[in-house]
Structure 1
Amino acid sequence: MIKKIGIVFFLVVFMSSCIPKKELTYFQGSPQATSEVYKMLNEPYRLQVNDILDINITSDNEELVAPFQQSQTSRTNTNGQINEGQFYLRGYTIDHHGNIRLPYLGEVNVLGYTEKEVREKIEEELGKFFKDSEEIFITVKLAGIRFTVLGEVANPGTLVMFQNQVNILEAIANAGDIVLTGDRKNITVVRKQLGGVKKYHINLLDMSVFNAESFYIHSNDIIYVEPLRQKSWGTGTTGVQTFTTIVSVLSFVTTTILLVKTL
């Protein structure tokens, strides 16, 4: 009787502790919907507080644009490559009022603007300092999106991607992807907003993730991948690990019983 109970216990624990394939497969859907085109929300990124802008201004009036060019030069190393640390020191950081401080123009509000809208605004304001015959060329780029990934990923930490748009999949991929014990259907995104924070939940196992409001992340987002319940049980993430754990436990119990009987 005890032997039968032990076998049943072994099977129940073994079957319930293994992680099924459906918990690991991204973008699941019904067979009828596999060829369906999912519309993605793809709006331009709007600038937030603490974003850093890389602004480059060139003109045939070299004296007038010299302050901007000096700032641009200091953000590259001797090989002409981008120096991430210098963006923080020399880039144009959006303060808590939504402003950046530019030569000649002083405080310029850019909160909620797109890169294009900022460029057009600077062109309009800076154009007042140029003669009609002088050419001016302005580029405005977001100096990377900074975010933090925590929880069940291979390489948790704070990352910066030098793109003007980053989605949740790219963010997690740059953190080394979700490990076996990560709950892919329960991803939390914490986003700072004026007056507080907002929390979003994302299910990466479903194709609807592409329509999620938080599919594209913002600067300073915190992404947290929760663990599956199998991790809290401590029985292993694969069949082999689970089998080894259970055998070890049963061996310990058996040895203990035999020792008690011999006393």
Structure 2
Amino acid sequence: MKFQPRKATLFLVAIIFLGSCASKEDVVYFQNAALSGLETQVKESTSSTRFKVDDLISIYVSTLDPEASVPFNLFRGVQEGGMRPEQVDYLVDKEGEIDFPVIGKMEVVGLTPEELRVKLTTSLSDYLKDPIINIRLKNFTVTVLGEVKRPGTYLVNGEQITIFEALGLAGDMTIKGKRKNVLVVREFDGTKVYYRIDLTSNMAAESPVYYLTQNDVVYVEPNKSAITSSALDNRATITVSILSVLITSTVLLLTRN
């Protein structure tokens, strides 16, 4: 069959056109959030750190009598060469409990660090006088996705982080991110809920999701420019691929003649 450059060119243009169309539905995450009936359900601040299943909690008990508090602190390893043994953290199990030395199983899910501190102080009152209890959430992470420079999951040092600080960890939003429609996905009473925040507003600090909680997901939606750019990138990729095939086919046909 004789090779026909004109028909091949028309075919190439048609393929590029059909394959390069991109829309919001092809690019944007969490498009069904509003349809789920859970969007904007967070109407008041839920930013207090509250322990959840699979959280890792560091608890250290001390008193004026160091020997008295030893049974209530778990360590692994043996002290050698001046190196301190590693403290054992507590994992919140599927029942929402931790297994604390001497006391045994203790429900912690839903408690804030301060509430857990009070609960432990009461439970230890039969064993220790005026215990000092330090509590820290070890796996406080937030995930930042979408139009940011470094999307990923970030470990938070401390018990509190704002949405702006989280975006800072991710290198800030790109110029193609929608600043008026940033989405925060949060687990609330065992259910994933969705809340949108306008970061250009001076009321952003009053938002229930201005302060993030552990495992929050921050999603910066791309604007129309980013979606169009995605279509152009797709078109360029398809063009290069088809041209490569076309050139190869042309060379093969010419070498046969």
1:22 aligns with none
* Distance change >3 Å, CA 72–CA 47, structure 1 → 2: farther
* Distance change >3 Å, CA 73–CA 64, structure 1 → 2: farther
1:101-152 CA distances to partner (integer Å, 9 max, x unpaired)? Answer: 211111111222222211111011012123xxx5522122222521111111
Separation in structure 2 between the aligned mates of residue 184 and residue 228 of structure 1, nearest angstrom: 9
* Distance change >3 Å, CA 146–CA 67, structure 1 → 2: farther
* 1:174-185 aligned within 5 A: 174-185=169-180
Alignment partner of 2:181: what SS?
Answer: strand
1:164 aligns with 159
Separation in structure 2 between the aligned mates of residue 102 and residue 192 of structure 1, nearest angstrom: 26
- 1:47 aligns with one of 48, 51, 55: 51
1:91 aligns with 89
The yes-or-no answer on 1:126 pairing with 2:121 is: no
Alignment partner of 1:122: what SS?
Answer: helix
The yes-or-no answer on 1:66 pairing with 2:61 is: no
2:6 aligns with none
2:110 aligns with 112
Contact in 2 for aligned 1:53/1:140 (Cα 8 Å) = yes
Separation in structure 2 between the aligned mates of residue 220 and residue 141 of structure 1, nearest angstrom: 15
Separation in structure 1 between the aligned mates of residue 60 and residue 228 of structure 2, nearest angstrom: 55
1:217 aligns with 212
Alignment partner of 2:178: what SS?
Answer: strand
Separation in structure 1 between the aligned mates of residue 194 and residue 217 of structure 2, nearest angstrom: 10
Contact in 1 for aligned 2:53/2:92 (Cα 8 Å) = yes
The yes-or-no answer on 1:140 pairing with 2:135 is: yes
Cα deviation, residue 44, structure 1: 4.0
Q: Which moved more, 1:91-100 or 1:157-166?
A: 91-100
Alignment partner of 2:161: what SS?
Answer: coil
* Distance change >3 Å, CA 194–CA 157, structure 1 → 2: same
* Distance change >3 Å, CA 64–CA 190, structure 1 → 2: same
Alignment partner of 2:199: what SS?
Answer: coil
Aligned residues: 183
% identical aligned pairs: 31
**TM-score under structure 2 normalisation?**
0.62
1:204 aligns with 199
Cα deviation, residue 196, structure 1: 2.8
The yes-or-no answer on 1:189 pairing with 2:184 is: yes
**TM-score under structure 1 normalisation?**
0.61
Give me the CA root mean square deviation.
Answer: 3.0
5+ long unaligned stretches in structure 1: 1-39, 81-85, 236-263
Separation in structure 1 between the aligned mates of residue 195 and residue 115 of structure 2, nearest angstrom: 28
5+ long unaligned stretches in structure 2: 1-43, 231-257
Alignment partner of 1:107: what SS?
Answer: strand
Cα deviation, residue 97, structure 1: 2.6
- Matched letter for residue 91 of structure 1: D
Contact in 2 for aligned 1:41/1:210 (Cα 8 Å) = no
Cα deviation, residue 203, structure 1: 1.1
| Larger relative helix fraction | 1
- Matched letter for residue 65 of structure 1: S
Alignment partner of 1:183: what SS?
Answer: coil
